[in-house]
Amino acid sequence: MKKHYFLAVPIEEKQRMILQNWIHNHKSSLPFKSWVHPEDYHITLAFLGDIEQHSKLIELTKRVNETLKNDQQFEISLKGIDVFGKAESPRILWAGVEHSVSLNHLQTRIVKACEETGFQLDRKPFRPHITLARKWNSVQPFIKFARLDEVFNDQPSPSLVSSIHLYQTNLDQIPKYEAINIFPLKRK
**Which residues carry out catalysis?**
42, 129
Cα separation, 93 vs 56, in Å, equals: 33
Cα separation, 109 vs 127, in Å, equals: 15
The number of beta carbons lying within 10 Å of the beta carbon of residue 100 is: 17
Angle between helix 54-68 and helix 101-116 axes, rounded to 10 deg: 140
DSSP 25-60: HHGGG--EEEE--GGG-EEEEEEEEE---HHHHHHH
Cα separation, 12 vs 158, in Å, equals: 10
Asked if 186 contacts 70 with a C-beta cutoff of 8 angstroms, the reply is yes
Q: For residue 179, give the H/E element and its range.
A: strand 177-184
Q: How many helices (H) and strands (E) does the chain have?
A: 3, 9
